[in-house]
C-alpha cells in the first residue's frame, strides 16, 4: 500500500506559468495555489458579483482614498509562495501599479471572499484562505458567507491565524476594525442569497 504525503504539487514559478497559460487559453479560468496545492476558483454568479459591487460602493463612499480591487492576484502565506485570488482587496488606488499578475500584500488592508456554491467552499474560504491571509499579515479578512447567511470579520493576524473572529447574521450592522474603519449595513445581503 502506498501512502501519499502532503507535498507541494509544483513550484510557485511553475504555477504562475500554468495560471498565465490557463487564463489565456480558457476564458474565465482562475487558478489559485495555496498550501502547495493547485485549486480552481469558481466563476462568480450574478448575486456574488452584486455583493462585490455593493461592497465596492460602500468602500468608495466611506474611504475615497482607497479602492476595492476585484479579482486581484495576491502573493500569500508565510513565505509568499502561495497565490490567491480574493474576490476583492481593499488598498490604495495605485497600490498595485507595475506589479504584474501577483501583487505584494503589504498595502492590502482587507481581503474579501464571497462564498460560492461549489463543493470546496468550506475548505477554501473558511479554512485555507483565512490562514493564508493571516500568515501574510493582511489586517482584515471579510467573509460574506451566503450559505450561512452571515458575515465573519477576521482581524488581528498573528502570523499563524486571526486572533479575533466576529460573526454576525445578515441584517446586523458589521463594523470593520481599523485599519479599515467602515460599518456595513447588511440587511440587503438577504436579497442576494438563495
Asked if the model's pLDDT at residue 76 lies above 70, the reply is yes
How many Å separate Cα 135 from the centre of its chain? 13
**CATH number of the domain bearing residue 89:** 3.90.1570.10
Give me Rg for the CA atoms of the chain. 16
Report how many domains make up the chain.
1
Q: What is the pTM of this model?
A: 0.83
| Structural domain containing residue 144 | 45-192
Strand partners of residue 153: 142, 166
Q: Is 29 a domain residue?
A: no
pLDDT, tens digit, 9 for 90 and up, residues 40-72: 666 777 788 999 999 999 999 999 999 999 989
pLDDT, tens digit, 9 for 90 and up, residues 90-126: 999 999 999 988 999 999 999 999 988 776 666 777 8
Q: Is 15 a domain residue?
A: no
Q: Is 59 a domain residue?
A: yes
* CB-CB neighbours of 131 under 10 Å: 21
Amino acid at each position: 500500500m502506498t501512502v501519499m504525503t502532503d507535498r507541494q504539487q509544483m513550484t510557485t514559478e511553475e504555477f504562475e506559468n500554468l495560471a498565465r497559460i490557463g487564463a489565456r487559453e480558457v476564458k474565465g479560468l482562475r487558478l489559485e495555489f495555496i498550501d502547495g496545492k493547485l485549486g480552481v476558483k469558481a466563476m462568480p454568479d450574478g448575486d456574488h458579483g452584486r455583493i462585490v459591487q455593493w461592497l465596492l460602493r460602500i468602500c468608495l463612499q466611506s474611504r475615497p482614498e482607497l479602492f476595492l480591487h476585484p479579482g486581484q492576484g495576491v502573493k500569500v502565506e508565510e513565505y509568499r509562495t502561495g497565490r490567491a485570488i480574493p474576490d476583492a482587496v481593499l488598498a490604495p488606488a495605485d497600490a498595485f501599479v507595475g506589479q504584474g499578475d501577483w501583487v505584494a500584500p503589504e498595502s492590502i488592508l482587507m481581503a474579501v471572499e464571497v462564498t460560492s456554491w461549489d463543493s470546496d467552499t468550506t475548505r477554501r474560504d473558511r479554512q485555507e484562505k483565512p490562514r493564508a491571509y493571516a500568515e501574510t499579515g493582511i489586517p482584515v479578512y471579510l467573509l460574506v458567507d451566503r450559505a450561512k447567511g452571515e458575515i465573519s470579520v477576521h482581524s488581528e493576524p498573528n502570523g499563524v491565524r486571526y486572533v479575533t473572529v466576529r460573526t454576525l447574521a445578515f441584517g446586523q450592522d458589521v463594523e470593520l476594525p481599523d485599519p479599515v474603519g467602515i460599518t456595513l449595513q447588511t440587511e440587503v445581503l438577504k436579497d442576494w442569497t438563495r
